[in-house]
Amino acid sequence: MSELKNDRFLRALMRQPVDVTPVWMMRQAGRYLPEYRASRARAGDFMGLCMNPEMACEVTLQPLERYPLDAAILFSDILTIPDAMGLGLHFETGEGPKFRKRIDTLADIEALPIPDARKDLGYVMDAVSTIRRELNGRVPLIGFSGSPWTLATYMVEGGSSKDFRKIKAMMYDQPEAVHLLLDKLAQSVTSYLNEQIKSGAQAVQIFDTWGGNLSADAYQQFSLAYMRKIISGLIREHDGRRVPVIVFTKNGGLWLESIADCGADGVGLDWTMDIGVARSRVGSKVALQGNMDPTVLYANPQAIRNEVERILASYGKGAGHVFNLGHGITPEVDPVHAGVFIEAVHEFSAKYHDPNAVVAQG
């Protein structure tokens, strides 16, 4: 594997000195880019894009051709694991993900297999190794998975949900059944992320999109406990380097201290939390990732620059900040505005760092 030419993203996650604050965007390969829409049309559908390693590589690299991003993130979907468990993932235009089979009973959960990540999700590993080869050390590659709770919500609801009433009713009525489901998912996610690391992912992120919809007690029991279990089972050194882990719970700011204690190197923040306040609460225990409101990208370029400057000032001097949006970039954003955002992070952040910091290390 080639040496990294730009490792400031990995260094920031390890709270080591950097020259400028690294930046990447959740969903940076996606529908806001015309070149992505063209690739998806060629692939036929979303899963066709995910399951073709060469095309997944192509769309992963598209934003890096446009912008000076500090990391690439694997192009895939969080629901690949439930699909590999036999639930039949498909996407309906305008409706998001759906499953042909829904989890409804304890018997359904007991019958679920734990996928062999290498065999059943080999197309993801092939995409990871292809992307890593094509990056040729330009920037690090991030692998990812959904959290067990987030995956379980889709599996029990059968798709997206506004109120999560099926999974929450099951959680309160049959907690042992939901714990069994989450345990199977935690085992699956651990092996899935470890295979991504073996295939070339240099950092991994766990997306806990729906953890913030739980009560404080339920979050600890049904979401955070299983992310902690996953992290304890992950490969943390590979290719002679530390493999950092980021946990992102949307709407998880209330539980920041608990999340910072889960074993992750970085904690992702949504835009409802002031990053300076978050830093004062967790100190130097973890790096912080985030956290500009994605809708700021609809504003004029000067407003975008102002907001970037405000967030950098709130975090303050020193390492341990990876700039990102507080959730994924949305499809209607003008790609020019995304460029303004990324360049502003590098331009305004230099004064918060040591100008003699090492950018890359072999």
| 344 marked as binding residue | no
CA angle 82, 87, 90 (to 5 degrees): 90
Q: Which residue has the tokens 């029991």?
A: 221
The answer on pLDDT for 58 being more than 60 is yes
> What would the DSSP string read from start to end of 161-192?
-SS-HHHHHHHHH-HHHHHHHHHHHHHHHHHH
Say how far apart CA 309 and CA 320 lie, in whole Å.
17
- The tens digit of pLDDT for each residue in 310-348 reads 999 999 999 999 999 999 999 999 999 999 999 999 999
pLDDT score recorded for residue 218 = 98
Q: What is the CATH number of the domain that holds 224?
A: 3.20.20.210
| 16 marked as binding residue | no
Do residues 242 and 236 lie in contact, with contact meaning Cβ atoms separated by under 8 Å? yes
154 belongs to the catalytic site: yes
Query: At 355, is the pLDDT very low, low, confident or very high (cuts 50, 70, 90)?
Result: confident
352 belongs to the catalytic site: no
- The tens digit of pLDDT for each residue in 9-30 reads 999 999 999 999 999 999 999 9
Say how many domains are in the chain.
1
| For residues 94-99, average pLDDT | 80
Give me the catalytic one of 32, 36, 154, 192: 154
The answer on pLDDT for 278 being more than 60 is yes
The answer as to whether 307 is a domain residue is yes
Q: What is the pTM of this model?
A: 0.96
The answer as to whether 362 is a domain residue is no
Average pLDDT, the chain: 95
Give me the catalytic one of 31, 118, 236, 242: 31
The answer as to whether 157 is a domain residue is yes
| 154 marked as binding residue | yes
Query: At 39, is the pLDDT very low, low, confident or very high (cuts 50, 70, 90)?
Result: very high
Residues forming a β-bridge with 227: none
The answer as to whether 251 is a domain residue is yes
133 belongs to the catalytic site: no
Runs of H (alpha helix) within the chain:
8-13, 34-43, 46-50, 53-66, 80-82, 106-111, 117-120, 122-135, 148-157, 165-173, 175-199, 216-219, 225-232, 256-260, 275-282, 301-315, 335-349
- The tens digit of pLDDT for each residue in 157-216 reads 998 888 999 999 999 999 999 999 999 999 999 999 999 999 999 999 999 999 999 999
| 209 marked as binding residue | yes
CA pseudo-torsion sign 189, 192, 193, 194: positive
279 belongs to the catalytic site: no
pLDDT score recorded for residue 358 = 59
The answer as to whether 36 is a domain residue is yes
Query: At 96, is the pLDDT very low, low, confident or very high (cuts 50, 70, 90)?
Result: confident
270 belongs to the catalytic site: no
| 313 marked as binding residue | no
The answer as to whether 127 is a domain residue is yes
| For residues 347-352, average pLDDT | 98
The answer on pLDDT for 362 being more than 50 is no
pLDDT score recorded for residue 361 = 43
Residue ranges making up the domain that contains 118: 8-352
The answer as to whether 235 is a domain residue is yes
The answer on pLDDT for 277 being more than 60 is yes
Regarding predicted confidence, which is higher, 131 or 97?
131
Give me the catalytic one of 11, 15, 27, 228: 27
The answer on pLDDT for 94 being more than 90 is no
| For residues 263-291, average pLDDT | 97
The answer as to whether 359 is a domain residue is no
